[in-house]
Structure 1
Amino acid sequence: MATVEVLTSEVVVPAEETPAGAVWLSNLDLAARRGYTPTVYFYRRNGDDEAAFFAADAVRDGLARALVPFYPLAGRLGLAGGGEDGRVQIDCTGEGAVFVTARSGHYALDDLMNEFVPCDEMRDLFVPPTPAPNPPCALLLVQVTHLRCGGVVLGMALHHSVVDARSAAHFAETWASIVRGAPAGDAPVPPCFDHKLLAARPARAVLYDHPEYKPEPPAHAATASTYASAIITLTKQQVGALKAACAGASTFRAVVALVWQCACRARALPPEAETRLYSMIDMRQRLSPPLPPGYFGNAVIRTSTSATVGEVVSNPVGHAARRARAVTSQGDDYARSLVDYLEGVDAMNLPRSGISRAHLRAISWLGMSLADADFGWGSPAFMGPAIMYYSGFVYVMNAPGKDGAVALALSLEPESMPEFRKVFAEEVARLGL
């Protein structure tokens, strides 16, 4: 098994004094998966000599400076009032983020580009070990690993109770802009930590059912934490043809519709079985009024739609795309209803295990520009999740260096993945993609 050699491990504190106190967390923060979200960025060495490429001092100093505007990430998860029964919050202690440097004599970047799939091994190699995700715990851990070819893997673990994917990207973009010395006018917008913008209303009004935040019936067997994962790329032309077959559906809806169909077939589910498509929807621009551009926290909600397996697999892919639209069309009233619903339950202890083997959970990372993660040595050659946790997940991402292409990071049961690859390739060919 490949290993990496840890060279240094330290705690980086903000470069300047930062505000103390606590940051209140919204119900959407509390309802997020309790734990860390590990991601990896792959960088190909440019013309700089090896010592200058991703020099640890420059990256570390940039992190210290980035922690000034993003000071909550230098804090610790805490409890209001300090007691065991207090509401979870961020204690802005300024204690700092974990920063690790490492070296791999085994991997070159091209090896990783060919072999990488999200899994325990990759997470363990390129992302620092994370503590139990309960108060008091660090909120940010990063690792810079130099490969034998001179390339670099940047691994980050951010606590999901304080950030969603959009906020994580916002922090990475700011950190990168500082290291590369971007002009002040080109810096990302400052973060906004006013989570009260997503507080429950004084007179709660739960207008929808919100089954995505309730336990599944016991009859549904949950997916296992053992899974097979894959990275699959669709070209710009294939994405365009697929969207045309889906009557102009968005990229996310069209791609997820095809994955949903193929997953149902690969799993050999009976036609009468219920299959549910879950999604995470960013509500920043869907609220009325919208959240500030730099809102930093969890602003995504879980939504879902269901159908029988027979309905999904026997109809054209456009039908599944129309069903997917029901997952992604919610607005302010739905989000406010959810926040109000979560006010009446123990949001920190919602069910967070895997989903039924018949279901699929789709997450969009589209629109998170890799060009903005340029630390001064070029944009990443790849960015994606380091691990998937459960089977039945699909991330839809922009493929690096390929304008309009889409990359899928997918996890399924080990016995289903070979058939999925076969079925997916057949469907792509059948659609003339």
Structure 2
Amino acid sequence: MTSQKVRRVSECFVKPQHNLSQDAKQPIYFTPYELTLLNVTYSQKGLLFTKPPENQDFSVTAFLDDLRRSLSATLTHFYPLAARLATRKQDNPPSHVIYIDPENSPGVKFIHATVDDDVTVSDVLTSPNVPSVVHSFFDLNDAINHDGHTLPLLSIQVTELTDGIFIGGSVNHLLADGTSFWHFMASWSEVFRSKDENEYISISRPPILKRWILEGYDPITKLPFSHQDDQFIERSEKQQVRERFFHFSSAAVSKLKAIANDECNTQKISSLQAVSALLWRCVTRVRHQPDNSETVCRLVVSNRRRVNPPLSDDYFGSPVGVVMGTATVGDLMARGLGWAALKIHEAVTNYDDAEVKKWVESWYRNPIVNKLNKVFHPNTTHIGSSPRFDMYGCEFGLGKAVAARSGFANKADGKLTMYPGREGSGSMDVEVCLLPEYMMDLQCNEEFINATKI
């Protein structure tokens, strides 16, 4: 499927339905957790739907009009997504302040595209590896978050397949983590399905836009760099990796959780921790690293429930941190699933309010911007997203999506992305990105095969 071409039929910018109030025009500043992501590429997630049967009188034109109308109404609540970034430079001392400027609001980019050759829903779902055409279902493939000064902070692409429709979103990671992106998508779907023609459409979960600030610190966070492009902006080269989805049924997840807890004589290891431990072990095994080398499992986690007082899940932003389980390759291979899961459990449990605030305080003393070549190492398994996100609750009048997929951005050897299984009940899907030789070995790995075939 490498020859299929996605053709853009039209594109426009969608603005919030209503003008902003004076309060909403104020700059929105970022927290240290968000500013570390300036070099990270946009987050890209989307949903694949089957087209309604022809006897339902479905019109793509009418559907696109309804999407644009409901998007505009939804942006009244999520107006930062329609804005752009801005930078204010200060000379004494030299520093930069990067923020969202709601008054500069060109809108969210909205693209209608089609696939030139016949591409069906089945082609996307049944290909052994994720077909490369899926990357073209998203906009802004090469953008990093800093580019939000000139590029849209959110771009939506609606791509027509022969028998399906893909709705893909590329969102600036400074503004929204997975929790916030799927909150927006759920709200957009809610407005779409309401068919409400009122001037102002309310939503069940309005976003909380007030920023979380560590007590005693200035709400305006400064980067102490005098030459921004030289000091902290870096674009990483893309690795050529294989992408493949693996399904863990609810029975498979339950069995892994039971094994991990039994081996550790405990009941505190979660389903996600057990599956993550399996992935860490299997990815490490196929890399054939020396037994005495260190291997790391990195999990991206939300800080919302970890700070005290906790933030609501409706907090709109990107308050994410990273926890790490570490071990030697020899220990990870020899000590079993439960031992690896307990390492992950302890890392997650120890990452509490005190650790979050300790990290923030250290950042203020020594501000840093992450560089992706230091995130993805040959000895790292990096796990992002969450099977707890309600992706399949976003229906847009098309019924339940048949699959969720991601784009080209943030792909590297050892990057794993978690999704809920479509059937629910605790099932999970995992997108695995590995170098081709590692992917071949993973598909033959006995521990991995046994865990996924239940």
Code of the residue aligned with 1:147 in structure 2: it is L
User: Does 1:95 find its partner at 2:106?
Assistant: yes
User: Does 1:382 find its partner at 2:403?
Assistant: yes
* Selected match of 2:339 from 319, 322, 329: 319
Find the aligned partners of 1:430 and 1:233 in 2 and give their Cα distance: 10
Does the aligned pair in 2 maintain the 1:38–1:123 contact within 8 Å? Answer: no
CA drift of 1:280 comes to 0.9
Does the aligned pair in 2 maintain the 1:73–1:139 contact within 8 Å? Answer: yes
Code of the residue aligned with 1:27 in structure 2: it is P
User: Does 1:30 find its partner at 2:61?
Assistant: no
Q: Secondary structure at the match of 1:102?
A: strand
Map residues 405-420 of structure 1 onto 2, 5 A cutoff. Answer: 405-420=427-442
* Selected match of 1:163 from 176, 194, 201: 176
User: Does 1:192 find its partner at 2:208?
Assistant: yes
Find the aligned partners of 2:344 and 2:380 in 1 and give their Cα distance: 13
Map residues 27-426 of structure 1 onto 2, 5 A cutoff. Answer: 27-32=32-37, 34-47=40-53, 48-51=56-59, 55-80=63-88, 85-92=95-102, 93-104=104-115, 105-115=117-127, 117=129, 121-127=133-139, 131=143, 133-134=146-147, 135-149=149-163, 151-181=164-194, 187-195=203-211, 197-199=212-214, 201-202=216-217, 225-247=239-261, 248=267, 249-329=269-349, 330-347=351-368, 349-353=369-373, 354-387=375-408, 388-423=410-445, 425-426=446-447
Cα deviation, 1:94-122, whole Å, max 9, x if unaligned, reads: 21010000112421111111128557642
With 155-164 and 185-194 compared, the bigger mean Cα shift is at 185-194
Normalised TM-score (structure 1): 0.88
Find the aligned partners of 2:170 and 2:452 in 1 and give their Cα distance: 39
Does the aligned pair in 2 maintain the 1:223–1:391 contact within 8 Å? Answer: no
Find the aligned partners of 1:352 and 1:309 in 2 and give their Cα distance: 23
Q: 1:385 to 1:277 in 2, by over 3 A?
A: same
> Which residue does the alignment assign to 2:226?
none
Does the aligned pair in 1 maintain the 2:124–2:131 contact within 8 Å? Answer: no
Q: 1:131 to 1:24 in 2, by over 3 A?
A: same
Find the aligned partners of 1:356 and 1:223 in 2 and give their Cα distance: 13
Find the aligned partners of 2:34 and 2:121 in 1 and give their Cα distance: 35
Q: 1:176 to 1:58 in 2, by over 3 A?
A: same
With 223-232 and 334-343 compared, the bigger mean Cα shift is at 223-232
Q: 1:396 to 1:227 in 2, by over 3 A?
A: same
Code of the residue aligned with 1:103 in structure 2: it is T
Q: Secondary structure at the match of 1:409?
A: strand
Find the aligned partners of 1:21 and 1:264 in 2 and give their Cα distance: 48
Q: Secondary structure at the match of 1:326?
A: helix
Find the aligned partners of 2:452 and 2:67 in 1 and give their Cα distance: 46
Does the aligned pair in 1 maintain the 2:42–2:140 contact within 8 Å? Answer: no
Find the aligned partners of 1:341 and 1:414 in 2 and give their Cα distance: 39
Find the aligned partners of 2:107 and 2:312 in 1 and give their Cα distance: 26
CA drift of 1:322 comes to 0.5
Code of the residue aligned with 2:118 in structure 1: it is H
Normalised TM-score (structure 2): 0.84
Code of the residue aligned with 2:8 in structure 1: it is V
Cα deviation, 1:153-177, whole Å, max 9, x if unaligned, reads: 0111000111111101111111111
With 37-46 and 183-192 compared, the bigger mean Cα shift is at 183-192
Q: Secondary structure at the match of 1:288?
A: coil
Code of the residue aligned with 2:271 in structure 1: it is T
CA drift of 1:226 comes to 2.1
Find the aligned partners of 2:314 and 2:6 in 1 and give their Cα distance: 36
Does the aligned pair in 2 maintain the 1:128–1:142 contact within 8 Å? Answer: no
Percent of pairs identical after alignment? 21
Find the aligned partners of 2:237 and 2:13 in 1 and give their Cα distance: 37
Q: 1:386 to 1:109 in 2, by over 3 A?
A: same
Q: 1:202 to 1:86 in 2, by over 3 A?
A: closer
Find the aligned partners of 2:52 and 2:127 in 1 and give their Cα distance: 22
Does the aligned pair in 2 maintain the 1:227–1:414 contact within 8 Å? Answer: yes
Which runs of no fewer than 5 residues in structure 2 stay unpaired?
219-235, 262-266
Q: 1:140 to 1:64 in 2, by over 3 A?
A: same
Does the aligned pair in 2 maintain the 1:101–1:145 contact within 8 Å? Answer: yes
Code of the residue aligned with 1:56 in structure 2: it is L
Find the aligned partners of 1:430 and 1:174 in 2 and give their Cα distance: 35
Does the aligned pair in 1 maintain the 2:87–2:96 contact within 8 Å? Answer: yes
User: RMSD over aligned Cα, in angstroms?
Assistant: 2.7
Which runs of no fewer than 5 residues in structure 1 stay unpaired?
204-221
CA drift of 1:72 comes to 0.6
CA drift of 1:86 comes to 2.2
Q: 1:255 to 1:421 in 2, by over 3 A?
A: same
Find the aligned partners of 2:252 and 2:179 in 1 and give their Cα distance: 26
Does the aligned pair in 2 maintain the 1:279–1:363 contact within 8 Å? Answer: yes
Q: 1:162 to 1:187 in 2, by over 3 A?
A: same
CA drift of 1:37 comes to 0.9
CA drift of 1:136 comes to 3.3
Cα deviation, 1:351-376, whole Å, max 9, x if unaligned, reads: 22252211111124121113421112
Does the aligned pair in 1 maintain the 2:416–2:431 contact within 8 Å? Answer: yes
